[in-house]
Amino acid sequence: MLMHRQSLNAYAAPLCETVVDCPQPTGTQVLLRIARCGVCHSDLHMQDGYFLLGDGKQLDVRAGRTLPFTLGHEIAGIIECAGPDAKDATPGRAVAIYPWIGCGQCAACKAGDENICSAPRHLGITVDGGFASHVLIPHPRYLIDYAPLPASYAGALMCSGLTAYAALQRLSDRAARARLLLIGLGGVGLMGLALARAIYGTAPYVADIDAKKRAAALAAGAAAAFDPADPGARKELLKVSSGIYAACDFVGSDKSLNFATSVLAKGGKVVVTGLLGGAYTTPVAMFPLKAMTIEGTTTGTLAQARALIDLVRAKNIAAPPIAERPLDQAQATLDDLRAGRIVGRVVLTA
Ligand SMILES: [Zn+2]
Ligand SMILES: [Zn+2]
């Protein structure tokens, strides 16, 4: 059996098709026939080989994978076959894949935080992922049943949905005090808005420099929308909220984090998930004086991924706009994403 892949053969170069023999699963491994794989902003950074750190600095991320490499981490599909020790991996079962797989040995993995493992085997990041017809999964524990959700939605939930969910989980104590503030209403932000309403039962405030995104967020039930580029926005938000206790920065730039911290109440907390880039400085005394917390999080744990799928099914949380394209459109999709031509999610069909 052959495996078709849209491979990264060199950094900063277009993906191209490679065809190899399908790997045979051994031990606890499971071979998945991919039905859908979402295209994510972080795929652009992986293709470039770096993240922007601000002040012209870059974080080189080219180490730790061999080329050709298969990107893609928002995967759902059908079990093709499995090794002799893979329990419950019945061929034909439809599953989403938790892609943030750890080494299983380090302190983070032992605590269940495989997403921040020190020797990760993250699919599409350090191990071949989902821009392909098949993918090899090391253990059936990473398979998550998703029916009756669509496969494309289940895949997207493993990254953008999980990121928003994990950020909201870190704000649960403060979210009980007052409305949340969500900054950046792209794919993760809109998912965060829907999840925040379902989890906390109140509509959050939102902030985005893009009027179209503010309008989309208001249509999706935001309490009020603010433009952080408007010099009056901070005052206005403080007036209606009397200070924010819980904020998510889904943008991750100097501007977005400055806006978030500028509207915090005493004891307020910002969780940063965005990776846009930039550098943030603040007087150190602001931490004690405002009893301020700034915390970062990246994707989420396996337990959170399972809880998220359960929540979305139980509360019937609607999917963001999802468009489907054939696998050989992977590079064209990355180009469109880079140029800002994509609204919602594009999912590749293998
Ligand atoms: Zn992603
Ligand atoms: Zn680990």
- In single-letter form, the type of residue at position 336 comes to D
Q: Is the pLDDT of residue 190 over 80?
A: yes
At residue 57, the pLDDT reads 83
Find the farthest-apart pair of alpha carbons in the chain and give their distance in angstroms, rounded: 63
Nearest C-alpha neighbor of 183 from the set 231, 239, 233, 232: 233
Backbone dihedral angles phi then psi of residue 7, each to the nearest 5 degrees: -100, 150
Ligand 1 centroid from CA 297, angstroms: 13
Q: 289: CA distance to ligand 2 center in Å?
A: 36
For residue 102, give the ligand nearest its CA.
2
Tell me which amino acid residue 33 is: R
Question: What's the CA-to-centroid distance between 238 and ligand 1, angstroms?
Answer: 33
pLDDT confidence of 52, banded at 50, 70, 90? confident
Strands 94-97 and 16-21: unpaired
Q: Name the region of 140 (left: φ>0; alpha: ψ -120 to 50; beta: rest).
A: alpha
Angle at which helices 187-200 and 211-219 cross, to 10°: 30
Q: Determine the distance separating the centroid of ligand 1 and the alpha carbon of 347, expressed in angstroms.
A: 12
Ion ligand 2 — residues with CB < 5 Å: 102-103, 106, 109, 117
Quick one: CA dihedral 306, 307, 309, 313, positive or negative?
A: positive
34 is written with which tokens?
């991919």
Give me the pLDDT at residue 6, please: 98
Q: Which ligand is nearest to the CA of 108?
A: 2
- Full-model pTM: 0.94
Cα–Cα distance list, 230 to 217, 259, 263 (Å): 18, 11, 14
Cβ atoms of 226 and 154 closer than 8 Å: no
Ligand nearest to the CA of 116: 2
pLDDT at 58 over 90: no
Q: What's the 287 CA to ligand 1 centre distance in angstroms?
A: 31
Residue 186 has pLDDT above 90, yes or no: no
pLDDT band for 131, please (50, 70, 90 cuts): very high
Look at residues 199, 193, 178 and name the one whose alpha carbon lies nearest to residue 265.
Answer: 178
Whose atoms come closest to the Cα of 125: which ligand?
A: 1
Per-residue pLDDT, 219: 95
Average pLDDT over residues 61-88: 95
Say whether pLDDT at 15 is over 80.
Answer: yes
Q: How is residue 141 written in tokens?
A: 């524990």
Q: How far is CA 234 from CA 215, 242, 246, 260, 263, in A?
A: 19, 11, 15, 9, 6
Q: Which ligand is nearest to the CA of 163?
A: 1
**Nearest bound ligand to CA 75?**
1
- pLDDT value at position 307? 98
109 CA distance to ligand 2 middle (Å): 4
